[in-house]
Structure 1
Amino acid sequence: MKNRITELLGVQHPIVQAPMGWIARAQLASAVSNAGAFGIIETSSGRLDEVREEVAKMKTLTEMPWGINVAQAFVRDPDIVSFVADQGVRFVTTSAGDPNRYCDALKGRGLTVFHVVPSLAAAEKAIAAGVDGLVVEGGEGGGFKNSREVATMVLLPLIASKTRLPIIAAGGITDGRTMAAAFALGAEGVQMGTRMVSAAESPVHRNWKDAIVNAKETDTVFLNRHGPGPALRALRTEKTTKFELEPPPNIMAEMGRALELYFGGDMEAAIALSGQVAGRIDSVKPVAQIIGETIAEFDAVMRELGARYGKVGEAA
């Protein structure tokens, strides 16, 4: 497949792994890149010393293209632009903040910059800032969300109708059929988060992966809609079910024991961020298998639709 996303990223498949805090590190990201897709190293954990170590590991694990995410709400290092540019990557996503903050500086160092947007207004601001493209993130995706979430089915074609910039779709993407749907709605690439959390190479505890595999489509909750702090989409647990109706005073304080959940397997220690596609994931698979099956199904769906509807509108 060749389009603007594969050309900008230098990859075989226009599939990007989401930059999830503590999870999107060398072990997972290198597996994604080695499978012909695009791995991303996170900064949203805020632990840049550890991120530096992961970047060094990444360089030993893959020779394929990969990138870095700058999560502005969690990164306080004034030298973050130089840090990113010095890694030799050509692509960066920015998120959780004003696209004007780093766009010019990153592009001035020769990087391609995509900004993550949850609304048309945010997309228009990013476009005005001069970004090279957009990651359009629907509200069904997991993690930190806009408090007024809009589903990918609505948000993606809306933004695509307002810009000619290349778009990567996020939220609700887990296989080739959803990838094909995203392309029909205006995307040229897709981003997978929850699907990658559940992958064999994901570093999270098996309890979290099993919770995703066992989840129904209704087993996520949308938390903290009215603040203060960010809204979140997470797996339903005893803790998050309570928080759905009785929000804590500080939702971010509930992430203080995140590592006990992420790597210790205590699903009540913190908040297990997850998208609604958890309800469509039924097994733990290696990254290469996920990517391969996604592309095969995407091709099959596109061919099937072409064969079924390709002559619609033609004269009899």
Structure 2
Amino acid sequence: MLERQEPTRGVAVIENRVTEMLGVEVPIVQAPMGWIARAQLASAVSNAGGMGIIETSSGELDAVRAEIEKMRDLTDKPFGVNVAQAFVRDPKIVDFVIDQGVRFVTTSAGDPTRYTAQLKDAGLTVFHVVPTLKGALKAVEAGVDGLIVEGGEGGGFKNPRDVALMVLLPLVRSQVDVPIIAAGGIVDGPTMAAAFALGAEGVQMGTRMVSAAESPVHENWKQAIVDAAETDTVFLNRFASPGLRALRTERTTRLEREEKVSMAEFATVADLYFGGDMEASIALGGQVVGRIDEVKPVAEIIAETVAGFHETIGALGQQYPSG
């Protein structure tokens, strides 16, 4: 259990197993997007009462180390690090994470038995990202403290055999007792409330955070999210691995028809992420782009989400009283 800091002004504290384990005020976690989930964005999430996460999927560990140092200057609130196993080749990645002094780690894109014991032996809290029931059971058996259950509607790297969160979340909940953070399609209070109704005790936001004011990506990408319809994502590598959900562009529409999408498509990712050329690479994003119509500061996103969560569950209780 991490030490909880002083409450953030304007945020209603939510107390459950996730907030107790993470030491945060509200169980909202920012997704660990490569090159994006760095100090500028993650510190804003932590300062707003949630859990900011620093990525390692870029593989740029020297840069990641510098970003963690920046975090300590930008926030005194808890934050975590993600270990995306498939994308980090450094055999000493666990030692790297432990040496940074963080207390919360999410692991993803790999076998939960690989690092869980080592991380937990060092006193860290570990949640593993799972896209299937089979993966969830394996992670629990490996000894994780909790799960991030990720539906196929979410953006980024996916299981090619994707399952919607509304199906996957209650299925996993019915089979495990550990705390669950829901990911995929989470954008506001009502979606957070829906996730809780299905068994989650926290939510993770990716695409919503990419579009946030503090997100480091180019304004062209943020505007593309704001302009997108709910049908404006594509699922790539349906018959290969890893699957990818991304914004629909001319490039990704062409790639959608290809049997195998090469990871070389990400070689020019900086031109898209920070240069604003939406055709230079693949802009990962979830179906929730269709519900995002404005760029907002992280603090506003989190405060509105928490308020909307309480409003939703309160209204349902009044509309459908028991007994």
TM range (shorter): over 0.9
Is 1:63 aligned to 2:85, yes or no? no
Q: What is the CA deviation profile of residues 147-193 of structure 1, one whole-angstrom value per residue up to 9, with x for unaligned ones? A: 00000000000000001100000000000000000000000000000
Native 8 Å contact 2:233 2:285 kept in 1: yes
> Counterpart of 1:267 in 2: which secondary structure?
coil
- Report what 1:193 is aligned to: 206
**CA 1:118–1:186: 2 relative to 1, 3 Å:** same
Is 1:213 aligned to 2:226, yes or no? yes
Native 8 Å contact 2:65 2:100 kept in 1: no
Return the offset for 1:84: 1.0
Please give the alpha-carbon distance, in whole angstroms, between the structure 2 residues aligned to 1:14 and 1:130. Answer: 21
- Report what 2:249 is aligned to: 237
Is 1:72 aligned to 2:85, yes or no? yes
- Report what 1:127 is aligned to: 140
Please give the alpha-carbon distance, in whole angstroms, between the structure 2 residues aligned to 1:259 and 1:164. Answer: 41
Is 1:272 aligned to 2:317, yes or no? no
Is 1:151 aligned to 2:151, yes or no? no
Of 258, 265, 274 in structure 2, the residue corresponding to residue 246 of structure 1 is 258
Question: What is the root-mean-square deviation in Å for CA atoms of aligned residues?
Answer: 0.8
Q: What is the CA deviation profile of residues 33-90 of structure 1, one whole-angstrom value per residue up to 9, with x for unaligned ones? A: 0000110000011111110110111111000000000000011112211211122211
Is 1:263 aligned to 2:277, yes or no? no
Please give the alpha-carbon distance, in whole angstroms, between the structure 2 residues aligned to 1:99 and 1:37. Answer: 24
Return the offset for 1:201: 0.1
Please give the alpha-carbon distance, in whole angstroms, between the structure 2 residues aligned to 1:13 and 1:86. Answer: 27
Native 8 Å contact 2:236 2:261 kept in 1: no
Return the offset for 1:251: 2.3
Q: What is the CA deviation profile of residues 99-137 of structure 1, one whole-angstrom value per residue up to 9, with x for unaligned ones? A: 000000000000010000000011111111111100000
- Report what 2:302 is aligned to: 291
- Report what 1:4 is aligned to: 17
Of 42, 50, 53 in structure 2, the residue corresponding to residue 40 of structure 1 is 53
Please give the alpha-carbon distance, in whole angstroms, between the structure 1 residues aligned to 2:61 and 2:194. Answer: 36
Please give the alpha-carbon distance, in whole angstroms, between the structure 1 residues aligned to 2:226 and 2:261. Answer: 29
Please give the alpha-carbon distance, in whole angstroms, between the structure 1 residues aligned to 2:58 and 2:90. Answer: 13
Gap regions ≥5 residues in structure 1: none
**1:191 is matched by which residue type in structure 2?**
Q
TM-score (normalised: structure 2): 0.95
Please give the alpha-carbon distance, in whole angstroms, between the structure 2 residues aligned to 1:250 and 1:187. Answer: 33
Return the offset for 1:246: 2.6
Please give the alpha-carbon distance, in whole angstroms, between the structure 2 residues aligned to 1:79 and 1:56. Answer: 19
Gap regions ≥5 residues in structure 2: 1-13
Is 1:310 aligned to 2:321, yes or no? yes
Is 1:17 aligned to 2:33, yes or no? no
- Report what 1:101 is aligned to: 114
Identity over the aligned pairs, expressed in percent? 72
Please give the alpha-carbon distance, in whole angstroms, between the structure 1 residues aligned to 2:68 and 2:92. Answer: 16
- Report what 2:3 is aligned to: none
Of 36, 53, 57 in structure 1, the residue corresponding to residue 66 of structure 2 is 53
Native 8 Å contact 2:33 2:57 kept in 1: yes
Please give the alpha-carbon distance, in whole angstroms, between the structure 2 residues aligned to 1:136 and 1:32. Answer: 20
Native 8 Å contact 2:230 2:291 kept in 1: yes
- Report what 2:11 is aligned to: none
Please give the alpha-carbon distance, in whole angstroms, between the structure 2 residues aligned to 1:246 and 1:105. Answer: 39
Q: What is the CA deviation profile of residues 177-217 of structure 1, one whole-angstrom value per residue up to 9, with x for unaligned ones? A: 00000000000000000000000000000000000000000
Is 1:87 aligned to 2:112, yes or no? no
- Report what 2:8 is aligned to: none
Native 8 Å contact 2:255 2:261 kept in 1: no
Q: What is the CA deviation profile of residues 228-283 of structure 1, one whole-angstrom value per residue up to 9, with x for unaligned ones? A: x3110000000001111134x54211111000000000000000000000000000
Native 8 Å contact 2:237 2:261 kept in 1: no
Aligned residues: 310
Native 8 Å contact 1:137 1:169 kept in 2: yes
Of 106, 130, 139 in structure 1, the residue corresponding to residue 152 of structure 2 is 139
Native 8 Å contact 1:224 1:251 kept in 2: no
